[in-house]
Homo-oligomer: A and B are copies of this chain.
Amino acid sequence: MSRARRLLDLIQVLRRHRRPVAGAVLAEEVGVSLRTLYRDIETLKAQGAHIDGEAGVGYVLRPGFMLPPLMFSEEEIEALVLGSRWVSERADGPLGKAARNLLAKIGAVLPGDLKDGIDASGLLIGPGAPIAAGDAELGAIRQAIRSERKLQVAYADERGRATKRTIWPIALAFYDRVRVVVAWCELRNGYRHFRTDRITALKSTPKRYPRRRIALLKEWRTLKEIPEQ
């Protein structure tokens, strides 16, 4: 197995372990000596991987994705840049910032004559309809979705009726003007949609919801296809 391949494998192995892993364990899993493992970790760090090593503890990989060398066509890059610009303009603050970081990161590795390529991409996002409020909490909502944790929300429905609910957020949908949380609602015992601008208060909880998000998402998608009464 080539060295480059082994390095990718090492990242995967690291990803599998959520807790810190000892170098010796990693070395065994990828089939090299401990000394070589240290060298590999060094190489990966040099390539930008976020690996934290602590004496007496082990290694952890900060959440993220490592991509191997990849070739994109012009149109694919255009799509990437346009999409990131849309996120940058129309999504909430932190996500928009991530989109700009993404572009900066890609720009940084392109040779000089291509850096402007990204800035000067011919595809632009026009200003759109003003987006309804409720941005401040989106970061927390995304975090809850990622980590599959329950949220407590105070919600005012379209008729202004206020309720307090515990929900299992499974997705966040971006419309032109509003954002909608898709969630299982413990109060109603069913899937419900919550416009973020109508969430009057939100509290993250440390409680994980009892099913996997992917399964819930699949179930919700199936239900959606059945016309409602």
Contacts and interface: CB of A to CB of B under 8 A. Distances in A.
B98 A78 contact: yes
Interface in A160-208: 169-176, 180, 182
Contacts of A136: none
B126 A174 contact: yes
Contact of A47 (B69, B85, B170): B69
Nearest to A71: B48
A66 interface: yes
Contacts of A132: none
Interface in A138-160: 142, 145-146
Contacts of A79: 84, 87, 91, 95-96, 98-99, 102
B74 A146 contact: yes
A176 B175 CA distance: 10
Contacts of A47: 68-69, 71
A210 interface: no
A31 B175 CA distance: 53
